[in-house]
Structure 1
């Protein structure tokens, strides 16, 4: 019988503690792969907690892939791959020093506790980054990265990043490679634009339109007024440097630590005017001679942007757990852009075993990277947010990317990426001539918006509102005459789910889209997001249901249209 000491005060919720204990035991092999766990009632009785507490912990562990639920048999430990030891390297350098993957139990704190040790951990990490600093050269030859050694998730022996400036007239090999490669593709990209109907839409489930009344105008206007009153003209007119203002990067680092369990130094963060600006910088940093793998089906604008930057793009098929490892290896790519916490458009959540396999792929060859796109992580509707790939990466192979577009609206073009320390040093040295693409006033306002708690309150309100819309939509669809043909997939991971209309062929799919649009409801088939030469037949009859922009008062009418046209 599993025995854990659960504290009722000062250590987070009982469910969070139990979840963390079991997860750590599965990761370490204390609970062997395939081992059956106690029943919910038996474990609850043994630990002196409620059955609901055990159910919640087991449910989250199943969602993350640590446990498997087998009907009428119970819960069993999943087989978590043991990642090989590997080193921390510069761009294209050879691995040498052995460092294990950081376990997820180190990445995310128990519910209710401060992630990463709170302010003390952040201060310790900042001190470590600065204490091992130098002039920026670090004794390395110009154009190459010094070998970096990762000792744990909170302290790394790296050179000071903040003080590195662009001073070398000779760019590094990786940077120079950024100006060579194939010409950009100008081929058409389906799925990221749709013709506007002649009348106003009742509902747009494609995610192509922004919802009205969602931006926190009053709070944002108040923040702008305070910034203008408090900050000097010199501060607001001064250039913020290539990575963005330190105040905003500190605010983002604190947000990531509290919400995602990520312990990062502000010097690792680069701010840009939306995701596309960051993709451009990534290509310059890593080089155009590389091949970038993207998920298929996926976001067509992403593939188009990379092609426009002049890099070779390889669509990689998805299986039931995320990017297919066999397809990834066959692609010849050295960079994988993936969305492990909520894939667009399928809604897939990559479980823990596959996450470790992706990290293992990244260290099989020198110079491989994972670009983790965490675009709507704030809007998980049930359970804890799954730990990010970045938080379990012990070899500096994950580049974390996110934007404020989903939370603050499509017109709010501010995003950021978290670079591994060795890439942050390369960015400061080789791309330091770039100006930050976000204005100083916007950066100061967003920093204040996050620090004041207004951003968190806005996200919480938006999540609650979105949950109401989702629940009302699911209930309304289940009440239609076509309910027996409808199935709903991945409903909890973010601001969209997948509607599966059973028995629908390609012709029926096209007809449904046309008929629904004629009644002012825009539908988006998953097949339209296929990036390969042909869509996977399993996508037929499946539709993206991005409900974030749908008004609550229009839910019933939209569901009625879908039910009528599917019947």
Structure 2
């Protein structure tokens, strides 16, 4: 038998400006009231029509919240009798001598390492100055949609089940052919492991190859995403310094490594290309120490002067290099398809591990990408985008030099989808990024890529995703941001 509730339901509110849907807000509120005991067992809830009128919501919205409470057992309902709070069992008391729950970490030490790693926020409502975002207006979506629809109509059994955890055979073969011809990688389809993007590949490799405390050489400055994956796997990172003179491979302070992470084609974030003698020297280090090298080739396809330098993996006689690639930079970011080319000794472990971790991409997307590569659309798109990005970089740098010279120096780059803007005076790049956000632009500070040395201050400006109009708007917004920052630093009258 239900009882009339004395709870003042007229105090319930819904925030229409919040991102959380109204039905979820209502569900969360009622669930919290039930669990806290403020809504007691047997108390009746208002009729959906009346509560909807009170909150100025659609009746279906209130019904959706009630349905979820009913499904999860918080309330009971019968036709004609209304909805009332279920008689829930008491929560179990902690065992004698157990520490207070609030003193326990809610997650494991490995979970803490994962959850506290740096992850720069993306702001989709801003003009995108973030590095690594490709142009999408030139992507042949009509061709992609046609290929995707064709594969969807096939309803092939090998695309609809739990198969091919390491990648669909056709895509593995297409990737092997592509990287062998265009990047000089020594590869067979069996050595290709398809994953959900480069970050997933880094995470998989780090967890599979590293034990707690293993020494890793990590570029300094270096890619924050790699640092996050390596530290989360328990690595002890040692800075492999990169500067105007190249990679400091003979630094006596570096211990014998278990793994080495490098971006030789277009160093992140400095944009340098590793010289041939450095590549051979690094391979010699790996062979001598029995270490693995992760060669992150994220921007290897984009070189604007001369031919792209072949991947270091093709020079590897000792089979110590794990080659990491992604289609998120060459096609579109949300595709979430990357791949590893692993040494023969690691083929079976990686094939098994990728099934355990669940880092595999939907097979229908994989075969669509295989079609896109096999039919020549990928090569055509890359050729077009090299030209577009080369022209866009020139235009962008010209505008920066015209309007931003008092604050930054921007140099052109032979490769990559971003350029470095170095400050002409002392400024805080994180603060500049915050001011830029208020002016409608999404920026990445250089300083977040430094993990050991005193960070350089500046901005890593991704120009690839901006058309001509956006570039002009973004440069003027950046100018306004620097102007505002200068006013904030200027002393007020009478303060001297």
TM-score by length of 1: 0.60
Cα deviation for residue 269 of structure 1 reads 0.7
- CA–CA distance in 1 between the matches of 2:352 and 2:195? 18
One of 462, 469, 473 as aligned partner of 1:553:
469
1:279-303 superposed Cα distances (whole Å, 9 cap, x missing partner)? 3332343242433332222222322
User: In the alignment, which residue of structure 2 is the partner of 1:494?
Assistant: 416
CA distance in 2, matches of 1:483, 1:549: 23
Match of 1:336 in 2: 260
1:375 maps to which of 294, 298, 319: 298
Note if 1:518 corresponds to 2:438: yes
Q: Secondary structure at the match of 2:335?
A: coil
Shift in alpha-carbon separation, 1:321–1:375, aligned structure 2, 3 A: farther
| Cα deviation code 1:398-421 (max 9, x no counterpart) | 110011111122211111100112
1:318 positional shift: 1.8
Please report how far the alpha carbon of residue 474 of structure 1 lies from its aligned counterpart in structure 2 after TM superposition: 1.2
Deviations 1:522-557 (A, max 9, x none): 33331132122x533xx23x3211112223212123
Selected match of 1:390 from 309, 313, 323: 313
The answer for the alignment partner of 2:120 in structure 1 is 193
- Structure-2 separation of matches of 1:475 and 1:269: 41
SS at match of 1:406: coil
Q: Matches of 1:264 and 1:326 in 2, distance apart?
A: 30
Offset at residue 380 of structure 1 (A): 1.6
Alpha-carbon distance between aligned partners in 1 of 2:218 and 2:240, rounded to the nearest angstrom: 6
Matches for 1:185-334 after TM superposition, within 5 Å: 185=113, 188-190=116-118, 192-194=119-121, 196=123, 200-201=125-126, 203-207=127-131, 213-229=137-153, 231=154, 233-289=156-212, 290-327=214-251, 330-334=254-258
CA, structure 1 residues 354+490, in 2 after alignment: closer, same or farther (shift >3 Å)? Answer: farther
**What number of residue pairs does the alignment pair up?**
375
- Deviation at 1:195? 7.2
- What's the CA shift for 1:437? 1.2
Given that residues 523 and 543 in structure 1 are in contact (C-alpha distance below 8 angstroms), is that contact kept between their aligned partners in structure 2? yes
Q: Does 1:505 align with 2:426?
A: yes
SS of 1:438's partner is coil
After alignment, is 303-312 or 220-229 more displaced? 303-312
Q: Which residue of 2 aligns with 1:127?
A: none
Residues 132-147 of structure 1 mapped to structure 2, 5 A cutoff: none
2:336 to 413, 418, 442: 413
| Map 1:104-115 → 2, pairs under 5 A | none
Distance in 2, matches of 1:326 and 1:316, equals 9
CA distance in 2, matches of 1:560, 1:382: 29
**2:193 touches 2:350 (CA, 8 Å); kept in 1?**
no
CA distance in 1, matches of 2:407, 2:357: 53
Find 1:438's aligned residue among 358, 361, 375: 361
Partner of 1:543: 459
Deviates more, 1:315-324 or 1:397-406: 315-324
User: Would the aligned equivalents of 1:483 and 1:563 in 2 still touch at CA under 8 Å?
Assistant: no
Q: For 1:429 and 1:524, how far apart are their aligned partners in 2?
A: 36
Q: CA deviation at 1:278?
A: 2.0
> Is 1:361 the equivalent of 2:285?
yes
1:83-162 correspondence runs (5 A): none
Q: 1:451 to 1:561 in 2, by over 3 A?
A: same
Equivalent pair of 2:436/2:477 in contact (CA under 8 Å): yes
Q: Do the aligned partners of residues 321 and 388 (structure 1) sit closer, same or farther apart at CA in structure 2, a change above 3 Å counting?
A: farther
TM-score relative to the length of structure 2: 0.68
The whole-number CA distance in structure 1 between the counterparts of 2:116 and 2:426 is: 25
> 1:312: how far off?
3.5
Tell me, yes or no, if the aligned pair for 1:184 and 1:311 is still in contact at 8 Å. no
Provide closer, same or farther for how the CA distance between residues 257 and 432 of structure 1 changes in structure 2, counting only shifts above 3 A: same
Distance 1:221 1:521 in 2: 31
Q: Check whether the contact 2:206–2:229 (CA below 8 A) recurs between aligned residues.
A: no
Q: Give CA deviations for 1:297-356 in whole Å, capped at 9, x if unaligned.
A: 222232222222344334433232544224586255321111001112221211112111
Contact 1:402 1:415 in 2 (8 A): yes
The structure whose Rg is larger is 2
Correspondence list, 1:4-43, <5 A: none
| 1:470 equivalenced with 2:380 (yes/no) | no
2:374 pairs with one of 451, 456, 459:
451
Say whether the 8 Å CA contact 1:248–1:443 is kept in structure 2. Answer: yes
Conservation of the 8 A alpha-carbon contact between 2:439 and 2:480:
no
- 8 Å CA contact 1:236–1:440 kept in 2: the answer is yes
CA distance in structure 1 between the aligned counterparts of 2:176 and 2:207, rounded to whole angstroms: 24
Distance 1:566 1:351, change over 3 A: farther
